[in-house]
Amino acid sequence: MEPDDAARVLVAVITRVRDLRIAREQGWYRIPLAQAPSRLAADYLAFYQTAAFGDERWSVRYYAPIVRYQIVARRELFPDEADHPQADKRYYRLDLGPLAELPLPVVAARLRRVTFINTTFGQLRRANDVRELWHPEEERQPPSDDVWGAGLAGKSLRER
């Protein structure tokens, strides 16, 4: 079933081929708590691929439904790397449904520095360029009440 146009999408940068393979084969993606966007709640995760992806670089091609959010230590994500210097670093683990490919990739006409973009599936479907995914009017509004993970939930606007 095709996602609804109003479905919330978080576009996240993916810099390593290994991470896309993990998303595809193991069904999860990680975001360091310290770098998480203030509006993390989304229905889908889409991936902005960097230069590491060769011919697919600087584009959004793949997406997946978000099934569950968890907070875990890096050592839980990579048990065979328990001695890693950042083994205790905390991450959001986004459990994903199957990866799907957009019918038409959203490319960047020129290099874009992307970390996260909050958008909708309709916008993702219609965009001809990555810059068309941003919603400037939404970026000025305070986060909605469903923001829960980046230390903002339960705080008033003055506390933020």
CA dist 28 and 26 (Å) reads 6
Task: State residue 71's pLDDT score.
Answer: 93
Q: What is the pTM of this model?
A: 0.80
CA dist 33 and 72 (Å) reads 10
For the chain, the straight-line distance linking the first and the last C-alpha, in angstroms and rounded, comes to: 38
E strands present in the chain: 8-14, 28-32, 44-49, 59-73, 90-96, 100-107, 116-120
| Fold of the domain built from segment(s) 8-139 | 2.30.130
Place of tokens 């998303």: 23
133 neighbors 127 (Cβ within 8 angstroms): yes
Task: State residue 30's pLDDT score.
Answer: 93
For the chain, how long is the longest CA-to-CA vector?
Answer: 45
158 neighbors 45 (Cβ within 8 angstroms): no
Task: State residue 111's pLDDT score.
Answer: 62
Task: State residue 46's pLDDT score.
Answer: 96
The domain segmentation of the chain, as residue ranges, is 8-139
Number of other residues whose CB lies within 10 A of the CB of residue 40: 21
Listed as ranges, residues in the chain with pLDDT below 50 are 137-160
State whether residue 80 is helix, strand or coil: helix
Closest CA to 147 of 52, 21, 26, 8: 8
pLDDT digits (tens, 9 = 90+) for 18-57: 999 999 999 999 998 888 888 788 999 999 999 899 999 9
Task: State residue 115's pLDDT score.
Answer: 82
Task: State residue 33's pLDDT score.
Answer: 87
